[in-house]
Amino acid sequence: MRFELKERDAAGRLCRFTTKHGTVTTPNLLPVINPNKMIIPPKEMKKRFGTDILITNSYIIYKNPELKKQALESGVHALIDFDGSIMTDSGTFQNYVYGDVHLDPVEIVQFQRDIGSDIGTILDVFGTPHQTRETSEQGVNETIERARKSLPHKGEMLLACPVQGSIYPELRRKCAQELSTLSADFFPIGGVVPLMENQRYSDLVRCILSAKQGLDPSKPVHLFGAGHPLVFSLAVALGCDFFDSSAYAKYANDGRMIFQWGTEKFDDLSELPCSCPICSKYTKESLMELDEKDRTLQLALHNLYVSFMELKIIRVALTEGWLWDLVEQRASANPYLSEAVRVLHEPEHLQWLEHHEPTSKKTAVFYTGPQTIHRPIFYRYHQRLINRYTPFFQETVVFPEGTKPYSMFYSKEITDILAHKNVNLVVRSSLGPVPMELDEMYPLAQSVFPNCVDQETGEIAQQRMENFLEGSSILHWDDQMVFSSEGPLKHPIDFDTRRISAVADMQFGVGASDVLFSGDLRLVKSKQTGKIRNILCDGSHVVSMRAEDGLFTLKIDGGLRLHKRMKYPLLRVVVVDDAVPFIKEGKSLFAKFVSDCDPHLRPYDECVIVDEQDTFLGVGRTLLTRNEMLTFQHGVAVKTRDALQQG
């Protein structure tokens, strides 16, 4: 197996997953194939949807002598005529639904191995939402025990071990941790179908979060039984990689059509509100003229088009950095989903999410409603404002919100004020306080809020402003404010100096600005935009400021300064000895060669690369969280930007 993270957003990731039967991109959907009754043949799926991975049920094959014989003789790929990756389920869900499955847990794993399944699943114990904690714990223990017994029999097959634990977060976390210790290959989150059937999305979110918090982050996570696109984006944002859908077929059999916003009965629709090839070829009337079997097939195809489309949208959003926007948009279609998004705002979850949140993104943050201000990126900003930002003076001038970037909108005022008075400058923005010198930093310039926000956003911003200003004497800026009467300052502080100093501390931690910029400072600005580009200190280039996100890129000399003065493990990613030569050649640092990492580093942070003796090797940009660096076996952990020249 190979599982490699390529792109990320929120706590979600876009990965390449490789089995013996090929490579697929995650997040992805495994259509469920019933070997007894294939509404859409797997080959047709491959042709229409590019399906390279699907799931079928080993228990159904096992119970049917004919299918069993065929599968053992020629393999499950021949049985269903599909040459992509095949995952098999074990009968656990059938046991939950029908209650009459009697199977030897090890035998069904051996069977899956013998029929050539790419990913088999252990016979786990399905935990239902109404179970007591005790019953759930027994189920979890039994699931772990079965995993332990099954793993030695998996052969070359990957083995999926579902995380159970009903609605008890600590059980989910425990189950996840123990299965991770056992080195299972693939982690379904099980027992969630009853939650989804009852739209208990808040509980679903808690189940996912607690499982994820216990799981080895380098393994694929599959939300078992999630087939409705409504929940896909939220689940992906929390780190789910796979879904499976029998919904496309079940709903079609029931005359129901899946849409992004929910489900509609075909009979109730006045026309087909979709542009997929099926809904473009047929009208409601012409579909009604088909015989029932054919109509069911067409509805099933529609359902898969819509489901795969949602995954395409999610992958684009994840790659472009607007996955949270998408999650919140989808939540607006369903009150229970909207409630589930609120679960993420609880401090413990926000903290976990903040660890995964990239430092910067390709796209701006778009306000979607009261959820937006609770996003991890703003949580981080306000945390850092408290912990890393130091006001320059005792007095603060507060500006009302203007056009972004604020420092341009208020440039005349800034020049006037700073020439005459040593004060802090702060904008009262829709997302809370923005010190003027941070105004170009992601996500402050890169966020779009309406002029008129909802009351919740307004009050949170107000509260944060009050906290920020506590202890400061406040001057509210207005048009009539004149500072020239105070006479010019003898040594006014340059606004640019303020900016680089404040950004450096916010980005690298308190004290970073002193380390980076002590000495003879020279700022090189863009001739076109007038923005700071390069910063030289004592003649050497320490950092550059990126135009797109107002954050610094570390140069070798900047890295050396930080390395010298900031204590281990601050800002470090540590390379094992074997890999040191590669780094010295400027090659990227792969996760499997990382032995440690500063826990404060976030994805897409600038970092210092060192060897195990903390010798400085170079500077780079992280792609993974610390936890990911320490577990992933494949893929890049740090993109080396520059390595120290030897000699």
477 binds its own copies (CB under 8 A): no
User: Which residues 439-458 are close enough to bind its own copies by CB under 8 A?
Assistant: 448-452, 454-456
How far is it, in rounded angstroms, from Cα 561 to Cα 579?
A: 24
Q: Which of 2, 145, 183, 316 binds its own copies (CB under 8 A)?
A: 316
By C-beta, is 97 or 333 nearer to its own copies? 333
By C-beta, is 152 or 273 nearer to its own copies? 273
What residues have CB less than 8 Å from 598, skipping those under 6 apart?
569, 570, 571, 572, 573, 607, 626
Reading the block at residue 319, the tokens are: 């790659």
By C-beta, is 455 or 645 nearer to its own copies? 455
276 binds its own copies (CB under 8 A): yes
Q: Which of 142, 320, 416, 642 binds its own copies (CB under 8 A)?
A: 320
Among positive and negative, which fits the CA dihedral 266, 268, 274, 279?
positive
Q: What is the per-residue binding string for its own copies in 37-56, x denoting contact by CB under 8 A?
A: -----------x-x------
How far is it, in rounded angstroms, from Cα 558 to Cα 608?
A: 10
Interface stretch with its own copies, choices 60-68, 138-146, 363-371, 382-390 (CB under 8 A): 363-371
Contact 288, 267 (CB under 8 A): no
The H or E element that residue 514 is part of is helix 512-517
Residues in the interface with its own copies (CB under 8 A) total 53
366 binds its own copies (CB under 8 A): yes
Q: Given the DSSP bridges, would you call strands 432-435 and 572-575 parallel, antiparallel or unpaired?
A: unpaired
CB 327 to its own copies: min, Å: 11
At 317, is the secondary structure helix, strand, or coil?
helix
129 binds its own copies (CB under 8 A): no
Contact 380, 407 (CB under 8 A): no
How far is it, in rounded angstroms, from Cα 295 to Cα 91?
A: 30
552 binds its own copies (CB under 8 A): no
Cα–Cα distance list, 556 to 61, 117, 563 (Å): 60, 49, 10
334 binds its own copies (CB under 8 A): yes
Interface stretch with its own copies, choices 183-191, 304-312, 498-506, 606-614 (CB under 8 A): 304-312
Interface stretch with its own copies, choices 277-285, 419-427, 524-532, 543-551 (CB under 8 A): 277-285
By C-beta, is 272 or 589 nearer to its own copies? 272
**Marked catalytic residue, from 9, 52, 89, 596:** 89
By C-beta, is 256 or 342 nearer to its own copies? 342
In 209-267, the DSSP E strands lie at 221-223, 242-245, 256-259, 262-265
Sheet with 432-435, side-by-side order of all strands: 432-435, 424-429, 395-400, 473-476
- Examine the residue annotation and report whether 52 is marked as an active-site residue of this protein: no
How far is it, in rounded angstroms, from Cα 466 to Cα 454?
A: 19
- DSSP notation for 581-602: HHHHTTPPEEGGGEEEE-TT--
Interface stretch with its own copies, choices 261-269, 464-472, 575-583, 598-606 (CB under 8 A): 261-269
347 binds its own copies (CB under 8 A): no
Q: What are the φ and ψ backbone dihedral angles of 215, each rounded to 5 degrees?
A: -85, 150
Q: Given the DSSP bridges, would you call strands 221-223 and 187-189 parallel, antiparallel or unpaired?
A: parallel
By C-beta, is 136 or 368 nearer to its own copies? 368
Contact 561, 540 (CB under 8 A): no
By C-beta, is 366 or 477 nearer to its own copies? 366
CB 185 to its own copies: min, Å: 27
Cite the active site residues: 89
Q: Under the rule (CB under 8 A), what is the footprint of its own copies?
A: 7, 48, 50, 261, 264, 268-277, 280, 283, 305-306, 308-309, 312-313, 315-317, 319-320, 325, 328-329, 332-336, 338-339, 342, 366-370, 448-452, 454-456, 459
